[in-house]
Structure 1
């Protein structure tokens, strides 16, 4: 019997879980953006045609903005679309470059998980107050619950990037995204 390394057995499971999470994020982000656009357009139409605005639109758009922002953290990290300060990274080569990517990914992942813990404490505090939104009467803790969820998803994505860099050849900006530089457009150097 051939013994398969743990990393070779885990990679397909992690990849499948990551794809499912990505599908969830796409659904939430798409629905959130489309709902925000639809409600805003309906409000403008109502205001201009009927002279009446919907009272809940601004509140709903703020809720959707929280949702989109924090669910979008994981999506942005997964596709390496986050802000990167790469001046030092770009100057390094080989294992030093890879080591820096591991350190940055681990550090950022752990920081996001710490922020998630603080966000959970905040959500618990908001829940205890019983606060609700003024127009729609939605409990605020339900809205703010997306903050720790987003931090956890982002933290996991960074930790997966570190793991990928530790177990796979090449430098990965995220679990899915291998580092690659495109040549400048128009033949510029």
Structure 2
């Protein structure tokens, strides 16, 4: 089987596996997601550490720290699902799948990717409806004063990007002879993963 690490080139940059303009967009979205994830985790760590230090030294922490972490968790989670799908890193139950020959695995991967894509778009639709309900209620975060609907904008964006990624994975598997976990990741195990 192919080495799944082929999603990176020699410089460590993500290679899409999509042709032309779609590949350029995919790589750009991947870079934006990586920055969002890295920045989000760093900001959450700084916010939490600052809050702990201030609470220990001054006896009182930042009154808005919890709300900032809530925003960052939502952002990291929903930027992360698209990132994981793009890199073929979602958890898979593959006991039966792994013993199948290449063609049935590819067909199964197409069905899994299409089904997952449909679920992601379904959740995207309902998350937009949820955000509209929050908008209509006009609730705000008590410490920061932002309207609550603003912090949930990441939810439909994450679901839409993930749904699109799984749809592209299905298309990649239809047009390929190999089995792809995502548009740039061929199904397989690295040499160190084969050892049981």
Structure 1 stretches of at least 4 aligned residues deviating more than 3 Å after TM superposition: none
The alignment status of 1:47 with 2:40, answered yes or no, reads no
Q: Separation in 2 of the partners of 1:137 and 1:177?
A: 43
Structure with the bigger percentage of helix: 1
Which residue does 2:90 correspond to in 1? 82
**Structure 2 segments unaligned to the other structure (5+ residues):** 1-17
**Residue 161 (structure 2) pairs with residue 144 (structure 1):** no
Which residue does 1:171 correspond to in 2? Answer: 179
What's the counterpart of residue 132 of structure 2? 124
Larger Cα Rg: Structure 1 or Structure 2?
1
- Report the Cα offset of residue 94 of structure 1: 2.0
1:135 aligns with 2:143: yes
Alignment match, 2:6: none
Distance of 2:137 and 2:72 partners within structure 1: 22
Say what the alpha-carbon RMSD is for the aligned residues: 1.4
User: 1:188: Cα distance to partner?
Assistant: 4.3
1:13 deviates by 1.4
Task: Classify the secondary structure of the residue corresponding to 1:173.
Answer: strand
| TM-score scaled by length of structure 1 | 0.90
How far apart, in 2, do the equivalents of 1:27 and 1:151 lie?
A: 18
| Count of residues paired in the alignment | 179
